[in-house]
Structure 1
Amino acid sequence: MSDINSSQYIGPEKILQKKQDYIIPCVYHFYNEPMQLVKGEMQYLYDHTGKQYLDCFAGVSVVNCGHCNPEITKAICDQVQTLQHTCTIYLTENIVNLAERLAQITPGRLQKTFFCSSGTEANEGAALLASIYTGKQEFISLRQGLHGRTKLTMSLTGLSLWRTDTNPVGGISFAPNAYCYRCPYGKRHPECDLACANEIEGIIKTATSGQVAAFFAEPIQGNGGIITPPPGYFKRVKEILNKYNILLIIDEVQTGFGRTGKMFAIEHYGVEPDIMTMAKALGNGVPVGAFTSRPEIADTYTRPGASTLGGNPVTSAAALATLDVIAKNNLPARAAELGKYLKRGLTELQKKHPLIGDIRGHGLMLGAELVNPDKSPAAQQLDTILEQMKDRGFLFGKNGPDRNVMAFQPPLVITREDLDNLLNNLADVLAHIA
């Protein structure tokens, strides 16, 4: 129990009432009996009663360095007391230092960056840059991909759950994703010869007018169900795109900054993106997004552009401190090591519980897909597991088109002991799930 005075908080019931009265109802929440979270310390969260929870979702891959990391918090507080905001029409130092740092750590020749406030905005900007550079307006993205909540990025999203717009943007074609567990062709890797990647060429030839600016992809699809392409997938994709002079835009909003065991998940595949987008963990909870590209692409965006809050002194200070913490503690290597440990533990549970149909992912971005004996999605069982694990003090996510995939995306500062506690409690809960 933490030293929290519950009397100073209104509690879950009153929050739910205010939420119903004042929040647009699309803003949903987990759990039938949700708690009020009031405090965070590294890998732990606390509710208004002082109960501690092990956070295995990290605000959906945001607080990679832990909640209220003291080094990042200090950098934010120091900056907010000197210069909080100006806008990019004035010169400040943090923004250019951050852009320089990103040029040093991003793959290949990526060098020039535009800062904004979210992953959605980053993807929107990346699409604009691709059209400016190529002079083309069409896009291809993947089924089960998620790229944002604006009109264009929602139209690029291949998950019906998130496609709220009743009149989506046209000129977007969808390719099959590399969902090996449920291969759309009924094949197995590697005998499949990457049929899902090869299909992209057929889509270019038949479903587009040939004026495709870019192909959008998450290297691991987060909300899509931690869908993890096999080796060689993105190299084959890039070969096809190069043949038709189509840019590759890689969305690292969930996968970036050490999450998968490398600084960026696309590094697992040995491919250089033409444009890369990022957000979430870049600021460890401070709203910052960015898209970065090679100079010859970036330099075509010359008409005036600005993001009022993007890259302001405080968000840039937070991001610089975040990158310092990641480097100093070698968090990508830590994620790789602990991810293997967690995956082994989940695999042992899978041997005892056929409810776990598939385990996939890299590093500390892992998904366990729950299925019935006929391999149909076991979404109801996952809801029960989530609720019971929450009651035991463990939080993780659910995703996939049928919401039947347990998503483990904890702060990268989590410990092996924490993972043991998670696995032991999950074993107890699974033992009582029909």
Structure 2
Amino acid sequence: MPEQYSNSSVTAAYDDHVMPIWKSLHVPIKRAEGCTLEDFDGNEYLDVFSGISVVNAGHGNEAITEAATDQLERFVHGCSYVHPNEPVARLAERIADVTPGDLQKTFFCNSGTEAVEGAVKLARKYTGSKEVIALEMGFHGRTLGSLALTGNKSYKRGMAPTINDVAHAAPPYGYRCPRCDGDRCDASCADQLERVIGSHTSGDLAAVVVEPVMGEAGIVVPSAEWLQRVEEIVHAHDALLILDEVQTGYGRTGELFATEHFDVEPDIMTQAKGIANGLPLGAFTAPAEIADAFESGDHLSTFGGNPVACAAALATIDELENGLVDNAREQGAWLESELAALEDEFEVVGETRGLGLMRGVELVDPSEPGPQGVAPRPDAKLASAVGEYLREESKVVMGVGGYYKNVLRFQPPLSIEREQLEYAVDELRTALGEIE
């Protein structure tokens, strides 16, 4: 082992000793602060991806670090489901206060994937039914259970999801919806859920799982009418609506939870990613009536509700409510108009969309029709090239994803300043011009 790591030695260690993972951003991190990453060679990068929408309060947030350190010095692990402790109790109370609707009781776990699987277990226990519907192009995790819900074969290839009672409905992807001609999908598109229930289930529906903004699909935003109609259909079939706020929660969309944009109340809500600003923590929350369906031993997590992570989560909520959510709303409105201008400037920019500081730029080949003849062909090669240019030439770290791998993803720390966003947009404009 070398005495001092460099970019190349860290990368070599990954190649030799870490199982193959997603490394497309290629920035070995030595330290990070605010919206800035620094590699082992001293290069600094503007981070507008936040580790996939995780460090919402900024890298190295002092208040969160202090809260975690203080708890670290008290005790690290008591297994929150064996020994009651203050950080877990306080966080559960706080989540009941800040979440929408009548959500009251929380189960703590370690990740978003675990939160989703736990939410499905709770829905099955409460309803006594087994079948679940998710959305095509949706993403809910990579373990075998959550992978069954994920509607994308690129994540499933070579795997065999273990939940068999899962069906999928069409997503509210208005830009590529044959019915909507580029507009947002409305309530009539949501009625397709009835068709799926009638043709792909046995009438034993426990839950429908929906991301209020579909992150991995390419920052796909439904209309309020679409999501409200889904809620109506779900409840008409005596099932539960699980809203997956793993990526959208904790200020990302300019509200503490994306659900608040749509006037919809989840029966169960999953959370993770930004909940503790980078410390591993997941949660799912439900009204008392639903939560109490769990009996002792129905579900457990040895490390779930780790006191250090819970202390960090409490400080994270404080930081978000102390101006960061407002900043996400304000900067997001500015970013929306700036990105929309790119649609007029560049033919290869098919659509820009999002909420708050969760924004997507869909790149296309305007010379060729896309799937089903709706919108131009997705251009994944161009998106990859733009992402690489931004990273190598502009020192801007931006996510590239979407169902077709052609969407540039703006998801910076919510502490980002206007000057930093301006730089990112200017460099994106330069990259599009150079590569186009």
When normalised by structure 1's length, the TM-score is 0.95
Amino acid at match of 2:385: T
- Residue 187 of structure 1: CA displacement? 4.2
Amino acid at match of 2:281: V
User: Structure 2 residue aligned with 1:58, among 50, 60, 64?
Assistant: 50
Give secondary structure in 1 for the equivalent of 2:314.
helix
CA contact (8 A) 1:145 1:223 kept: yes
> Does residue 44 in structure 1 map to residue 43 in structure 2?
no
User: Structure 1 residue aligned with 2:285, among 268, 292, 307?
Assistant: 292
- Residue 8 of structure 1: CA displacement? 6.1
CA contact (8 A) 2:176 2:182 kept: no
CA contact (8 A) 2:360 2:408 kept: yes
2:390 aligned residue: 389
Per-residue CA deviation, residues 131-186 of structure 1 (Å, 9 max, x unaligned), is 00011111000011100111110000001121245322311110000000000435
> Does residue 432 in structure 1 map to residue 425 in structure 2?
no
Give secondary structure in 2 for the equivalent of 1:361.
strand
Runs of 4+ off more than 3 Å: 184-190
User: After the TM superposition, which residues 66-215 of structure 1 pair with which residues of structure 2 at under 5 Å, given as runs?
Assistant: 66-88=58-80, 89-164=82-157, 166-168=159-161, 169-185=163-179, 187=181, 189=183, 193-215=186-208
CA contact (8 A) 1:9 1:48 kept: no
User: Structure 2 residue aligned with 1:10, among 5, 12, 24?
Assistant: 5
- Residue 288 of structure 1: CA displacement? 0.3
CA contact (8 A) 2:11 2:28 kept: no
Per-residue CA deviation, residues 30-67 of structure 1 (Å, 9 max, x unaligned), is 15xx3321111011111112211111000111000000
1:20 aligned residue: 15
CA contact (8 A) 1:55 1:410 kept: yes
Amino acid at match of 1:239: E
Segment drifting more, 291-300 vs 43-52: 43-52
Give secondary structure in 1 for the equivalent of 2:352.
strand
Amino acid at match of 1:21: D
User: Structure 2 residue aligned with 1:227, among 211, 215, 220?
Assistant: 220
- Aligned-pair identity (%): 43
1:4 aligned residue: none
User: Structure 2 residue aligned with 1:406, among 405, 408, 417?
Assistant: 408
Give secondary structure in 2 for the equivalent of 1:145.
coil
Give secondary structure in 1 for the equivalent of 2:74.
coil
2:232 aligned residue: 239
Per-residue CA deviation, residues 323-367 of structure 1 (Å, 9 max, x unaligned), is 1111122x2221111011111111222211111100111000000
Q: Separation in 1 of the partners of 2:88 and 2:262?
A: 30
Listed as ranges, the gaps of 5+ residues in structure 1 are: 1-6
Segment drifting more, 338-347 vs 173-182: 338-347
CA contact (8 A) 1:219 1:228 kept: yes
Give secondary structure in 2 for the equivalent of 1:402.
coil
Amino acid at match of 2:168: F
Amino acid at match of 1:137: K
Amino acid at match of 1:115: F
CA contact (8 A) 1:65 1:284 kept: yes
- Residue 290 of structure 1: CA displacement? 0.2
CA contact (8 A) 1:151 1:165 kept: no
Q: Separation in 2 of the partners of 1:188 and 1:254?
A: 25
Q: Separation in 2 of the partners of 1:222 and 1:37?
A: 24
Per-residue CA deviation, residues 212-265 of structure 1 (Å, 9 max, x unaligned), is 100001000111110100131111011111111110000000000110011100
Computed over aligned residues only, the root mean square deviation of the Cα atoms, in angstroms, reads: 1.5
Structure 2 vs 1, CA of residues 186 and 322 (structure 1 numbering), >3 Å: closer, same or farther? closer
- Residue 303 of structure 1: CA displacement? 2.6
Q: Separation in 2 of the partners of 1:8 and 1:258?
A: 40
CA contact (8 A) 1:175 1:196 kept: no
Listed as ranges, the gaps of 5+ residues in structure 2 are: 369-375
Give secondary structure in 2 for the equivalent of 1:65.
coil
User: Structure 2 residue aligned with 1:267, among 249, 260, 264?
Assistant: 260
Amino acid at match of 2:402: G
CA contact (8 A) 1:154 1:165 kept: no
Q: Separation in 1 of the partners of 2:423 and 2:91?
A: 37
CA contact (8 A) 1:213 1:247 kept: yes
Amino acid at match of 2:174: C
Q: Separation in 1 of the partners of 2:182 and 2:312?
A: 44
Per-residue CA deviation, residues 58-94 of structure 1 (Å, 9 max, x unaligned), is 0111000000101100111111011111102012111
- Residue 11 of structure 1: CA displacement? 2.4
Structure 2 vs 1, CA of residues 158 and 112 (structure 1 numbering), >3 Å: closer, same or farther? same
User: After the TM superposition, which residues 285-434 of structure 1 pair with which residues of structure 2 at under 5 Å, given as runs?
Assistant: 285-304=278-297, 305-329=299-323, 331-373=324-366, 374=368, 375-391=376-392, 392-434=394-436
Per-residue CA deviation, residues 272-321 of structure 1 (Å, 9 max, x unaligned), is 00000000100000000000001110011013243111112101101001
Give secondary structure in 1 for the equivalent of 2:233.
helix
